[in-house]
Amino acid sequence: MNPFRYDVPELQKKARAVRRRIIELNANSPAGGHTGADLSQVEILTALYFRVLNCAPDRTDSEDRDIYIQSKGHAVGGYYCVLAEAGYFPTEWLPTYQHADSRLPGHPVRQKTPGIELNTGALGHGLPVAVGLALAAKKSNHARRIFVVTGDGELAEGSNWEAALVAAHYGLDNLIIINDKNKLQLAGATRDILNTDPLAEKWRAFGLDVTECRGNDMQDVVDTLEGLKPAGKPQVIIANTEKGFGISFIQGQPEWHHRVPKGEEIALALEELNDE
């Protein structure tokens, strides 16, 4: 069971706290960061870690824990902020992000950071490993579920679709794939770089069950995650998000893929994130 079980207003408040930490973390990084990608996934990760996932800082080795994989590993800054807020490591670590000898490197590293389940960063690797973990759980009669968040640009990698075929073939209904569909990637709009739409139809053609939600609407995210019905097959949630969501001058702007706030931008962003 999740140790928090926050209701939606509590989750919304936590999401604002996570966004403030993302701004501060990236502003303090000597090696930049991925501010836009960090921000688009906040509702998804907050709902998972503070309501949905059967995992906790004191049960990181439990055989029955749910496993979360951050396949879009470049968005690790937002992931770190959620893990710190959830107590997996001290929040005092966050200012060390990407500094020398930090335990918070620029991509997830299991051997360095408590709570990380898989080293990721090379896009297209997270889902294949998640499929293997889900298959192993099935064969071992473990009740755990495997959740994986992918980016929409990441779905250009063919390894994702090979993994989807395997997942459907083995009926891995303990696998939940969440697409953070923020419609932007490194150099511009995903539809212009390599269009993967119609995405829902593609997943269904590969044999997976598909649901869509508004990925920056906490109520919709919670309702979707908790409303999944047993389908005898892997589940895909297409979370329609906006890159950089929550900060007016960042959201929807491609240049914030690998840009961090500086100077007045820091104060302006934090002001927009003041508690309501």
Kindly report, residue by residue over 7-55, the tens digit of the pLDDT: 999 999 999 999 999 999 999 999 999 999 999 999 999 999 999 999 9
Over residues 67-90, the pLDDT tens digits come to 999 999 999 999 999 999 999 999
- CB 244 within 8 Å of CB 78: no
What would the two tokens of residue 152 be? 């929409």
**Cα–Cα distance measured from residue 157 to residue 93, given in angstroms and rounded to the nearest whole number:** 33
Identify the pLDDT of residue 275: 62
**Cα–Cα distance measured from residue 81 to residue 53, given in angstroms and rounded to the nearest whole number:** 17
The CATH topology of domain 8-272 is Rossmann fold (3.40.50)
**Cα–Cα distance measured from residue 94 to residue 85, given in angstroms and rounded to the nearest whole number:** 10
**Cα–Cα distance measured from residue 19 to residue 66, given in angstroms and rounded to the nearest whole number:** 24
- CB 238 within 8 Å of CB 179: yes
Identify the pLDDT of residue 187: 87
**Cα–Cα distance measured from residue 76 to residue 85, given in angstroms and rounded to the nearest whole number:** 14
How many other C-beta atoms can be found within 10 angstroms of the C-beta atom of residue 258? Answer: 13
Averaged pLDDT score across all residues of the chain:
97
Identify the pLDDT of residue 62: 93
What would the two tokens of residue 10 be? 């509590």
Over residues 143-179, the pLDDT tens digits come to 999 999 999 999 999 999 999 999 999 999 999 999 9
pLDDT band at 276 (very low <50, low <70, confident <90, very high): low
Share of the chain residues as helix, strand and coil, in percent rounded to the nearest 5: 45, 10, 45
Segment 107-136 mean pLDDT: 97
What would the two tokens of residue 157 be? 């990698």
Is residue 68 helix, strand or coil? strand
Indicate the DSSP class of residue 103.
Answer: S
Domain ranges of the chain: 8-272
